[in-house]
């Protein structure tokens, strides 16, 4: 991984009237990395993406993309970007191949080059059999893969994926992750926004946790977990009416306790020891689950709220 930075933002701000969507954030994205923006809906992720893709003008602060200014160099910046929007915006009436062809033309790529790339991209997106089908007839997962293929038609230096798997069933998500992972291995630079912590853990080398327009922290998934959580989490569910009553008896045995609406999260570096203590001190509960800490716990610690409700 080189240290060349593709996007650099300082105090980046987006306001719509009185509403502050992005509130003075700093970040830097380097060539070859997969960089994530993790946060709930409304955190300011999409607004940030729209500023990077030069669709939305910056209200305040500074940002360069490929060392260029979005305000003055929009077309040059966009010619080197691949954009996968949150909502499917394929041309439903055109065929799969025609969608790629038209997009290649918008990028002013010569026709023979486009034809060659269409073959490669259909292979990459596993859509060869659907080449001449209209988009209307594709499944949700196929449409997403086609949008990713479309974003790659200009061989972009930077691919921006806004919520790439939202709305897909688990199997289709895994197929898509597999494709994105392959893209990463080929050395592509990716920006991924997501509110799925498993997606961020799977795909991102480095990420920022975003909430209410600001960046709460930045690091690799492992670094963030180490900084803001313990190794293990024990989740306890109680019969209604009896909750939390006996939890005082766990004082000193856990690093941190997080009561949620339906359960209590107990943070510890040694789950086995804690489970023994729970039995010894006779903490009555109806269900117990032991797991490793995840980015969900990081988010909870940083913002006091859960990512997906």
Partner 1 sequence: MGLATNAVHVVEANAIGYRRTWRGRVISTFVNPVLFLAGLGVALGSMVDAGSGQTSLPIPYITFAATGLLAATAMQTGYGEGAWPIMAGIKWRKSFDAVLATPVSVGDLVSGYLCWGAIHLAFTLGVYAAIAVLFGAMEAVPALVALVPAVLCGVAFQAASVAFTARLEDETGLTNMMRFGIMPMFLFSGTFFPVSQLPDWMERIAALTPLFHGVELARKLALPGSEPPVVSTIPLWVHAAYLIVMTGVAWLLAIRWLSTRLKS
CB 177, min distance to partner 1, A? 23
Question: What number of CA atoms fall less than 13 Å from residue 286's CA on the CB side?
Answer: 9
Residue among 163 and 258 whose Cβ is closer to partner 1: 163
Residue from 299, 231, 292, 229 nearest 36 by CA: 299
From 35-43, 75-83, 259-267, 291-299, span contacting partner 1 (CB under 8 A): 75-83
Residue among 55 and 308 whose Cβ is closer to partner 1: 55
3-state secondary structure 278-298: HHHCCCCCCEEEEEECCHHHH
Place of tokens 């060349």: 4
**Cα–Cα distance, 106 to 88 (Å, whole number):** 18
Say whether residue 98 binds partner 1 (CB under 8 A): yes
Say whether residue 81 binds partner 1 (CB under 8 A): yes
Say whether residue 85 binds partner 1 (CB under 8 A): yes
Say whether residue 78 binds partner 1 (CB under 8 A): yes
Q: Which two tokens stand for residue 75?
A: 């077309």
Say whether residue 12 binds partner 1 (CB under 8 A): no
Say whether residue 94 binds partner 1 (CB under 8 A): yes
* Given 107, 249, 288, 306, the residue binding partner 1 (CB under 8 A): 107
CB 213 within 8 A of CB 44: yes
* Given 10, 105, 227, 281, the residue binding partner 1 (CB under 8 A): 105
Name the site residues for partner 1 (rule: CB under 8 A). Answer: 16, 53, 55-57, 74-76, 78-79, 81, 83, 85, 87, 89-95, 98, 101-103, 105-108, 134, 150, 154
């Amino acid at each position: 991984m080189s240290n060349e930075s593709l996007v650099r933002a300082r105090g980046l701000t987006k306001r719509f009237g009185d509403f502050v969507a992005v509130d003075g954030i700093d970040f830097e994205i380097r060539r070859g990395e997969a960089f994530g923006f993790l946060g709930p809906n409304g955190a300011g992720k999409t607004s940030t993406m729209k500023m990077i893709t030069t669709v939305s003008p910056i209200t305040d602060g500074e940002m360069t993309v490929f060392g260029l200014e979005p305000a003055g160099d929009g077309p040059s910046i966009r010619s080197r970007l691949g954009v996968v929007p949150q909502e499917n915006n394929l041309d439903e009436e055109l065929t799969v191949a025609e969608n790629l062809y038209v997009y290649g033309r918008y990028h002013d790529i010569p026709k023979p080059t486009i034809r060659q790339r269409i073959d490669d991209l259909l292979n990459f997106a596993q859509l060869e059999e659907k080449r001449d089908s209209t988009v209307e007839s594709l499944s949700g997962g196929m449409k997403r893969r086609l949008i990713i293929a479309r974003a790659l038609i200009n061989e972009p230096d930077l691919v921006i994926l806004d919520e790439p798997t939202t709305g897909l069933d688990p199997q289709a998500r895994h197929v898509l992750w597999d494709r994105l992972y392959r893209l990463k291995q080929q050395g592509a630079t990716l920006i991924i926004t997501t509110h799925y912590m498993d997606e961020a853990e799977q795909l991102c080398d480095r990420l920022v946790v975003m909430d209410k327009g600001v960046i709460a922290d930045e690091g690799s998934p492992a670094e963030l977990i180490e900084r803001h959580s313990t190794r293990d989490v024990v989740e306890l569910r109680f019969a209604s009416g009896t909750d939390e009553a006996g939890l005082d008896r766990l004082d000193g045995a856990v690093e941190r306790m997080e009561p949620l609406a339906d359960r209590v999260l107990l943070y510890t570096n040694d789950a086995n020891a804690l489970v023994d203590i729970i039995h010894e001190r006779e903490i009555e509960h109806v269900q117990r689950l032991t797991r490793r800490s995840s980015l969900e716990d990081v988010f909870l610690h940083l913002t006091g709220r859960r990512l997906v409700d």
